[in-house]
Chain A
């Protein structure tokens, strides 16, 4: 009965590899997000999709590509991983931003 679920929870990979993180929500929300939390704990938005359409694309390297096959899923693919990509990536969803977000439990990515 998890509301927003992300997989995997932990990901350790070498520089240069390509990896994907998956996110699914069963709340019926229209909007989904990817946030990155760096080592200083600062949460920064990367992307947002509303009903499968990209509505927010912050200044993120184009090695990061989100994909939303339907409004309940938002996946994140990262090409050519770099050391600086190490962080916790959180997926979130909302019905309306005014009601706040529900977050997934995060994916801790470590690039070695």
Chain B
């Protein structure tokens, strides 16, 4: 089983739609969780951290379910500029590194 699993997509949605991505992780000892965004031929950039209580940043909402080892990202009112690959990222504190999922590709169409 992969340490971090994501649906590769692509998710093809119209502008203005709400879209949700899910991610599962295998290590119950993981302590920190993130969503990164990667545009084509660019480096990954931190989108937001994910906290146990859930957190929101504008149109983006992240949730964590430790019992199910599951992380989600909700994007409301999708914009064309949201088209990118979204990477679910988990820190394994015992090994001091970030483990990246293979990403979910989002395409927002006009």
Q: Report A's interface with B, CB cutoff 8 A.
A: 31, 33, 35, 40-45, 48, 50, 55-56, 90, 97-98, 100-106
Contacts and interface: CB of A to CB of B under 8 A. Distances in A.
B34 interface: yes
Interface in B52-104: 85, 87, 89, 91, 93, 95-100, 102-103
Contacts of B34: 100
Contacts of B91: 97-98
Contact of A43 (B31, B49, B100): B100
Interface residues of B, number: 24
B108 to A, nearest CB: 19
A100 B102 contact: no
Nearest to B36: A100
A103 B97 contact: no
* B contact patch SS: strand
Nearest to B100: A43
B26 interface: no
A40 to B, nearest CB: 7
A62 B79 CA distance: 45
B18 interface: no
A102 B42 CA distance: 13
B80 to A, nearest CB: 21
B46 A101 contact: yes
Contacts of B93: 97
Most buried by A among B42, B43, B49, B95: B43
8 contacts: A43-B44, A97-B91, A97-B96, A97-B98, A98-B31, A100-B89, A100-B98, A104-B43
B45 interface: yes
B94 to A, nearest CB: 11
